[in-house]
A and B are shown apart, each in its own frame.
Chain A
Amino acid sequence: MSAVPVLTPAEELTVVPKRHPGRWLAAAVILIIVVRMAISVLGNERFGWDTVNTYLRDVSIGSGLMMTLGLTVACMVVGVVLGALLAVMRLSANPVVSGAAWAYVAAFRGTPVLVQLLFWYNLAALYPVITLGLPGVALDANQLISPTVAAILGLGLNEAAYMSEIVRAGILSVDHGQQEAASALGLTRMETMRRIILPQAMRVIVPPTGNETIGMLKTTSLVSVMAVHDLLYSAQIISARNYQIIPMLIVASIWYLVVTTILTIGQFYLERRFARGERTLPETPIQRLRRLLRTHAPSVRGTS
């Protein structure tokens, strides 16, 4: 311990935050590497940046992007709704109900999603006419199960299996005392689930669901095997014409990246919203930047 100038009155002392020169050094090194890589990539004409630039705003790429977004939303809606239902079923006291949910998850999680997609695509081979077991219902499977419908069924039903585990983990993460207190206050089981348990479970459910959504955005590219005109398939159609395979893949990748970035930002604010009541809320990027500037900025003397 160094000697403390005992005679300085405490209110005249200023606090000087610790400096971190190592951090500045590491930041500089990384920055240099990144800039060099960027120059190398952008300077290499075999990447075909002109083609990339042209097709980035191409109409058919745009409609492919819309299809990809639409599929992602539709599949996630199916996945979340059915997943929540399966999760509640899994927690049911009725063994037949919870067993059925268990079997569903086992079947859909246990087989490759590409296989499931192709199953739905070829459903007409198994059931040419769909009756749903109801009298007077006779639907032509080939017409009903278009490639797009097969895609939504395949990806959505598969997603439900994963989502059910996520929702179940969320529900189980809520302390049992919450259920007790709600019951003691006279809330019914449904009211308790909706008002007390699920809002708290959201803290656990939202982050992996964000991951699932981002994963789904990319998994939808599998539907190109069924000739659904999604983002990737639209890019492939163009490259089949102009032989610019790499630039077209870059075009698709850029759009995937843009959307995942937007989704990530959305996820952050959603998580913040469900963290209400926590001791500390996660910082927004602006708050974080302000704090970093405050602690790392060259010394500003505090008022004394």
Chain B
Amino acid sequence: MTAVPTDRPADRPADPTAAQPTVGSAKSPMVIAERVHKKFGLNEVLKGVDLTIDRGEVVVMIGPSGSGKSTFLRCINHLERVDAGRIWVDGQVVGYEQRGHHLHELSERAIARQRAHIGMVFQHFNLFPHMTVLDNLIEAPRRVFGADREEVTARAEVLLGKVGLRDKIKAYPRHLSGGQQQRVAIARALCLQPSLMLFDEPTSALDPELVGDVLAVMKDLAASGMTMAVVTHEMGFARDVADRVVFFDSGVIVESGPPDQVILDPQHERTRVFLRAVR
């Protein structure tokens, strides 16, 4: 991959003394990404990504393969460590604690605790095959928060009802269709009562006739006020559900705006080329 020159110079690490967003208040944004850089070896995958996601907002991320969408999502819950820049989620810097002018990396347990408030749904579901659907849902809440079994089970049942799989509670993942597995995966993430949900191409591995069920669940979730960041190629979903569409290319956000504007009337040539290709 050749680095495409951008008009933004490669920034130094974000200055920790820079004006801090009002943290954690009801009005403050859910996600603030500031000049996020990420390299794999010499390959600079994110070259200064700035993005703010408001509470209750649904942001759909599109862009060509290899543009860094997945990497950016994974930085938001610290599955990847950022090389420079900073990401705030719900008023906390992800993976670090700021003391004076220094960012100290948090302990493994503290990072795990932070992640538990951010749900993530993967392209390949990644359900735990040796556990029943119910155990998939209650495992993390029980381990991470030491939650009471009865209470989490009740919550799991409600969530499975919402995704239309109340009757599959005792089934093992391999006995479910892809679409059912993905809906279980969504319920599993929700069972931790996250304040933010990340979706990385949740329907890309599904047969076309199963895509609709999963998108419907996501649509309901969006309508319930969940803050969501969704990487997808489903332009219909983007137009119906997204509050904002952002277009990634070569590790930067090239264009961002309301779905109809970005999808129907893109301002940048690269966006136009990409959209012509996915149609």
Residues of A within 8 A of B (CB): 175, 177-178, 180-189, 191, 195-196, 199-200, 274, 276-279
Complex-state Cα separation, A182 to B122, whole angstroms:
12
Q: Which residue of B lies closest to A194 (CB)?
A: B143
Interface string of B127-146 (1 = CB under 8 A from A): 11111100000011001100
Min CB–CB distance B192 → chain A (angstroms): 7
In angstroms, how far is the closest chain A Cβ from the Cβ of B156?
Answer: 13
Given A200-B129, A277-B130, answer yes or no on A186-B174 (Cβ-Cβ < 8 Å).
no
Name B's A-contacting residues (CB within 8 A): 77, 79, 108-109, 112-116, 118-120, 122, 124, 126-132, 139-140, 143-144, 172-175, 185, 188-189, 192
B124 near A185 with CB under 8 A, answer no
Q: Is there contact, CB below 8 Å, between A191 and B130? A: no
Chain B nearest CB from A259 CB (Å) reads 30
Alpha-carbon separation in the docked complex, A191 to B128 (Å): 14
Given A186-B112, A186-B113, A187-B112, verify A181-B175 contact (CB < 8 Å): no
> Do A180 and B140 touch (CB < 8 A)?
no
Q: Nearest chain B CB to A180's CB is how many angstroms away? A: 6
Q: B127 — nearest CB in chain A belongs to which residue?
A: A181
Taking the nearest CB of chain A, how far is it from the CB of B262, in angstroms? 28
With A185-B188, A189-B108, A277-B131 already in contact, the answer to whether A178 and B126 are too (CB < 8 A) is yes
Specify which chain B residues have a CB less than 8 angstroms from the CB of A175 in the assembled complex.
Answer: 126
Note all chain A residues with C-beta closer than 8 A to B112: 183, 186-188
Which of B77, B112, B173, B189 lies at the interface centre, i.e. has the most chain A CB atoms within 10 A of its CB? B112
A185-B116, A195-B143, A277-B130 known; 4 new pairs, CB 8 Å cut-off, are: A186-B115, A186-B140, A276-B130, A278-B174
Q: A186-B192, A195-B139 are in contact. Are A181 and B126 (CB under 8 A)?
A: yes
User: Of A178, A184, A199, A274, which one neighbours B115 at CB under 8 angstroms?
Assistant: A184
Given the interface contacts A186-B116, A277-B129, A277-B174, does A181 sit within 8 Å of B122 by beta carbon?
yes
Q: Which residues of A contact B130 (CB under 8 A)?
A: 199-200, 274, 276-277
Kindly report which residue of chain B lies nearest to residue A184, judged by CB atoms. Answer: B120
With a cutoff of 8 Å between Cβ atoms, the chain B residues found around residue A185 in the complex are 115-116, 139-140, 144, 188-189, 192
**In the complex, what distance in Å separates the CA atom of A187 from the CA atom of B120?**
13
Docked-complex contact A186 and B172, CB < 8 angstroms: no
Measured CB to CB, the closest approach of chain B to A6, in angstroms, equals 34
CA distance A94 to B188 in the complex (A): 33
How many angstroms from the CA of A72 to the CA of B120 in the assembled complex?
46
- Please indicate the chain B residues that have their CB under 8 angstroms from the CB of A200 in the complex: 128-130
A18 and B118 CA atoms in complex are apart in Å by: 56
Q: Are B143 and A191 in contact (CB under 8 A)?
A: yes
A270 to chain B, nearest CB (A): 14
Most buried by B among A175, A177, A188, A277: A277
Contact among B144, B172, B174 with A187 in the assembled complex (CB-CB below 8 Å): B144
Nearest chain B CB to A199's CB is how many angstroms away? 5
